[in-house]
Chains A and B, each alone.
Chain A
């Protein structure tokens, strides 16, 4: 078990320490997310600023902001030659990926919680509803952190990655986005564990499982 947990914790610790020192991904992602929510709020007439629209704006902001943060995280690995360094240490690529995904999960969950509070303020969400959204937020962010780095790695290895990566992100996250928005709406309206939350969980299991199987191949090729 140590052969798995030691490198996993080392990657997790390395990423979280770096993030606590620079705040680069957290601040960059949160900043971008706030801009998306504000743009959404400014573009709609005040009558439309309801909780249904609010949770939609929140998840769009979370998807776009996490793309910025994840792409930034992968770029750091590539530019500093850290991916080569990790390969040289002989750490299993799957474990490296999991460590990276988990550190991103913590970072994304932090800024998504902040974005949720801002959405609650701008779109008049009730506090009880926000609390009920916790499982959706955890599962939704879980799905993004599991598959996001893989999409970023795919995009980073291609030409015109600045256009291609967001495109792949949005396309592959559509089911998660739809289900998370619906699960959030249900949570705000009082239902915590509905059918939509099951879809979010299914996304995490199916796509997450698929990603974990193929991620070592992509890391080797990147």
Chain B
């Protein structure tokens, strides 16, 4: 599995740096080379959502069955999601500085993603702060469920402020088949990486027991 992931990551890097044509913004403006970070930023965001969704499903399953294995898997996906969410909030400002001239603006997508990130940081902190394994499993499953339920409300609440500078993916991004292909190669690479991380994390936790 590790070799497949490595090959996908290499393919994703090659496509992002050499294969993809120059990118243009929503109004057709040339966005420069800095925009190649888009191929890491966007798939990393989708991957983090996928990880949090997996953590949510496994947390529900754990509360129903009380199988420790499900709790460990849920935590592994949540922690992996937090890693990818950290990539998103790190690459976003780098890209934002080049594209908008500012590292951070308090606009809906950025703010909602920051809140999402802090929620899962809370999850990790809570998990590390409960010593009893059974209690830890139940508490962190509840936290994973609450955090995930909060996500759409956070997004909608912040959206009421009104969209500002964050670009909305449109035809300029996804209309070009080469750009689309690059995004999906990277998405595949990051999803495979996330699955590998979650698998390894679960294994470490199980061996620890």
Contact = CB atoms under 8 A, between A and B. Distances in A.
Contacts of B160: 178-179, 182, 195-196, 199
A210 interface: yes
A26 to B, nearest CB: 27
A207 interface: yes
A217 B130 CA distance: 16
B144 to A, nearest CB: 10
A221 B166 CA distance: 43
Contacts of B122: 164, 167-168, 171-172
Contacts of B147: 172
A151 B180 CA distance: 42
Contacts of A211: 146
Given A178-B157, A210-B145, A172 B126 contact: no
Contact of A221 (B115, B125, B138): B138
B72 interface: no
Interface string B107-126: 00000000100110110011
Chief secondary structure at chain A's binding surface:
helix
B153 A168 contact: no
Contacts of B139: 154, 157-158, 218, 221
A172 B138 CA distance: 18
A159 interface: yes
Interface of B: 63, 115, 118-119, 121-122, 125-126, 129-131, 134-135, 138-139, 142-143, 145-147, 149-150, 152-154, 156-158, 160-161
- Sorted from nearest, which 5 A-B pairs have the closest CB atoms? A158-B129, A175-B153, A178-B157, A159-B129, A175-B154
